[in-house]
C-alpha cells in the first residue's frame, strides 16, 4: 500500500504542476507550488487546516467523493491579475466571491476535472460551494488521503490548494491515474 500511495502522491505532484503551469500561461498569473505534502490523515484533522470560506469543488465518486479546496486569496489574486489589477492579498478577509472570482475559481477546478477526465477516472463534478460546513463527503474519523499544495505568487504566500480523497479512490482507480506515470 505504501508504494501505491507514493505513486498517487507523485500523480498529484504532476497534476499540481500542470495546474499551476496552465493557470500561469493561460491566465498570466505566476502561481507556483512552493511546498507540497501528502499523506493519510483523519478527515477531522484535514478539515481543521482548510479555511471555512474557500472555493470548494466536490467531485462525486461512487457513493463517496473527492473534495478540492482553493484558498480565497488565490481566487482573488488570480482574478485581479486576469483583469490587469495589482492587489495586496495579505489582509484579505472576504466572505463572498464576485462573478469574476467565481469564473476564475471554476476555471481552476475545470483544469483538475479535465485531468481526471483525460485519465478516465470515474469522477464527476457534483457541486461548487464556498462554505466548508456544506461539504459532507467524509466521516470525521475516516482515514483519507490529504494533499496540500502551498502556493505563492512572486514569493508571496497566497494559501493552499488542497485535495482530499477517499482511500477507495486510490485503490480502485489505480489503473487510470497511473497511466503514463511510471
Owning domain of residue 51:
2-177
Distance CA 14, CA 31 (A): 15
Per-residue pLDDT tens over the stretch 124-140: 999 999 999 998 899 99
Query: Across-strand partners of 157?
Result: 152
Is 121 domain-assigned? yes
| 154 in any annotated domain | yes
Is residue 24 scored above 90 in pLDDT?
A: no
CA 87 to CA 80: how far, in whole Å?
Answer: 7
Residue 182 lies in a domain: no
pTM for the whole structure: 0.91
Where residue 134 sits, what CATH number does that domain have? Answer: 3.40.1550.10
* 128 belongs to a structural domain: yes
Predicted local distance difference test score (pLDDT) of residue 27: 67
Give 146 or 21, the one with higher predicted confidence: 146
Q: Which of 27-31, 76-80, 145-149 has the highest mean pLDDT?
A: 145-149
pLDDT at 1: 63
User: What DSSP letter does each residue of 40-107 carry, written as one string?
Assistant: EEEHHHHHHHS-SEEEEEEEEETTEEEEEEE-HHHHHHHHHHHTT-----TT---SS--HHHHHHHHH
Q: Is the pLDDT of residue 29 over 60?
A: yes
Domain membership of residue 23 (yes or no) is: yes
Domain count, the chain: 1
Residue 182: predicted pLDDT: 47
Is the residue at 76 inside a domain?
Answer: yes
Amino acid at each position: 500500500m505504501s508504494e501505491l500511495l507514493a505513486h498517487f502522491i507523485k500523480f498529484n505532484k504532476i497534476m499540481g504542476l500542470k495546474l499551476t503551469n496552465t493557470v500561469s500561461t493561460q491566465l498570466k498569473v505566476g502561481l507556483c507550488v512552493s511546498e507540497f505534502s501528502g499523506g493519510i490523515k483523519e478527515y477531522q484533522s484535514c478539515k481543521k487546516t482548510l479555511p471555512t470560506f474557500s472555493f470548494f469543488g466536490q467531485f462525486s465518486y461512487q457513493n463517496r467523493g473527492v473534495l478540492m479546496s482553493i484558498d480565497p486569496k488565490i481566487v482573488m489574486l488570480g482574478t485581479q491579475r486576469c483583469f490587469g489589477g495589482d492587489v495586496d492579498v495579505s489582509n484579505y478577509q472576504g466572505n463572498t466571491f464576485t462573478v469574476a472570482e467565481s469564473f476564475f475559481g471554476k476555471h481552476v477546478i475545470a483544469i483538475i476535472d479535465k485531468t481526471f477526465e483525460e485519465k478516465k477516472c470515474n469522477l464527476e463534478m457534483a457541486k461548487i460551494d464556498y462554505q466548508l460546513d456544506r461539504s459532507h463527503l467524509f466521516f470525521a474519523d475516516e482515514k483519507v488521503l490529504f494533499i496540500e499544495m502551498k502556493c505563492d505568487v512572486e514569493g508571496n504566500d497566497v494559501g493552499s490548494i488542497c485535495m482530499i480523497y477517499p482511500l477507495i479512490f486510490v485503490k480502485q482507480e489505480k489503473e487510470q491515474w497511473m497511466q503514463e506515470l511510471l
